[in-house]
């Protein structure tokens, strides 16, 4: 019996880490620019938590109250995470000018860092192990390619004012560069990104000014519900236009099933929660480092034809 218990103890130690006579589960903290209630990040958190279960590690998620509106709050959350001395930090980096110095503090303190979702070009600057997420320029270009295939000639891009946020600039510019037709902008102030009525009003105003617009592209999950309401308000004109977006939210899934959206670009964000935990667990337990600095999780194209398979998945 004693031999059996010793064997089980050794086996558990190999799986979960056994140091100093007590189980030592690593703790990894994810700090991002979004509240946990955001539908996009809910999928990230599911991946984070499932990885914690599968790999036998402790995980925590720390978001901010209003999506993208307060980089200072994200920085404060990151400082608190560093002070907790976790075994690893996973952090989004949408505003490098505000966050990089603090992210580098974590790396300099010996805490391994994985950048997630945004900040793929900042890995070396902050001393991170790797980036897991998507390329915003390619997201925009992929959206343009879908509209090109649909024959669209004049697209309206629902986005932030140029210069407000670098990754949204990259999405917008990626679209404009790849789109075969002409494009215009419905610029949503950052303070209105959580205000669906304002997004709807600004978008409808631009469409009323230019009846030649035959396609509308949203640069993120913030604007999908408003965009689909605009389509409904336009009546027959809305039905004749083409509609697409970056991100797959519950509203996007519903609209795809109803064939009100032509496509949505899925960043497969569940993997953005899962893969960083795998990387950190391997690094902490076995000193295995990512061989490449960037792991891209998407996007893939979701259409009315494949949305049911997507919706049926556990993510």
Q: Is the pLDDT of residue 24 over 90?
A: no
Q: Is the pLDDT of residue 16 over 70?
A: no
Residue 21 lies inside a defined structural domain of this protein: no
Per-residue buried b or exposed e for 95-126, using 16+ beta carbons within 10 Å of the residue's own CB:
bbeebbebbbbbbeeebbbbbbbbbbbbbeeb
Give the total number of structural domains in the chain. Answer: 2
Q: Is the pLDDT of residue 199 over 70?
A: yes
Residue 162 lies inside a defined structural domain of this protein: yes
Together in a domain, 127 and 205: no
Domain that holds residue 162: 136-267+306-311
Together in a domain, 238 and 153: yes
Residue 6 lies inside a defined structural domain of this protein: no
Q: How confident is the model at residue 68, as a pLDDT?
A: 65
Residue 19 lies inside a defined structural domain of this protein: no
Whether the bond between 47 and the residue before it is cis, its omega within 30 degrees of 0, is no
Q: Residue 133, exposed/middle/buried by CB under 10 A (0-12, 13-18, 19+)?
A: buried
Quote the pTM value.
Answer: 0.85
CATH of the domain at 250: 3.40.50.2300
Q: How confident is the model at residue 292, as a pLDDT?
A: 95
Average pLDDT score over the chain: 91
Q: Is the pLDDT of residue 51 over 80?
A: yes
Residue 4 lies inside a defined structural domain of this protein: no
Q: Is the pLDDT of residue 224 over 90?
A: yes
Together in a domain, 276 and 258: no
Residue 8 lies inside a defined structural domain of this protein: no
Give the gyration radius of the chain's Cα atoms.
22
Together in a domain, 130 and 160: no
């Amino acid at each position: 019996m004693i031999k059996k218990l010793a064997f089980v103890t050794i086996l558990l130690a190999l799986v979960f880490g056994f140091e100093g006579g007590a189980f030592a589960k690593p703790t990894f903290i994810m700090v991002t620019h979004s509240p946990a209630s955001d539908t996009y990040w809910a999928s990230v958190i599911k991946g984070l938590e499932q990885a914690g279960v599968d790999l036998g590690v402790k995980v925590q998620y720390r978001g901010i109250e209003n999506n993208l509106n307060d980089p200072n709050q994200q920085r404060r959350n990151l400082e608190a995470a560093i002070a907790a001395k976790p075994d690893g930090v996973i952090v989004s980096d949408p505003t490098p000018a505000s966050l990089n110095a603090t992210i580098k503090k974590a790396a300099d303190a010996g805490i391994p860092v994985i950048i997630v979702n945004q900040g793929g070009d900042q890995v070396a600057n902050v001393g991170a192990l790797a980036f897991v997420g998507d390329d915003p320029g390619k997201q925009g270009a992929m959206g343009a390619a879908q509209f090109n295939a649909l024959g669209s000639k004049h697209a309206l891009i629902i986005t932030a004012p140029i210069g407000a946020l670098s990754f949204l600039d990259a999405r917008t510019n990626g679209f404009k560069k790849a789109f075969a037709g002409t494009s215009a902008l419905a610029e949503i102030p950052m303070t209105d990104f959580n205000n669906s009525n304002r997004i709807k009003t600004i978008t409808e105003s631009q469409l009323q000014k230019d009846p030649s617009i035959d396609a509308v592209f949203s640069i993120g999950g913030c604007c999908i519900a408003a965009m689909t309401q605009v389509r409904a308000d336009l009546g027959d004109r809305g039905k004749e236009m083409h509609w697409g977006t970056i991100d797959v939210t519950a509203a996007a899934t519903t609209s795809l099933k109803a064939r009100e959206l032509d496509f949505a670009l899925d960043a497969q964000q569940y993997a953005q929660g899962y893969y960083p935990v795998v990387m950190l667990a391997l690094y902490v337990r076995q000193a295995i480092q990512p061989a490449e600095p960037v792991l891209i999780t998407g996007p893939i194209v979701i259409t009315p034809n494949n949305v049911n398979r997507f919706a049926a998945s556990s993510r």
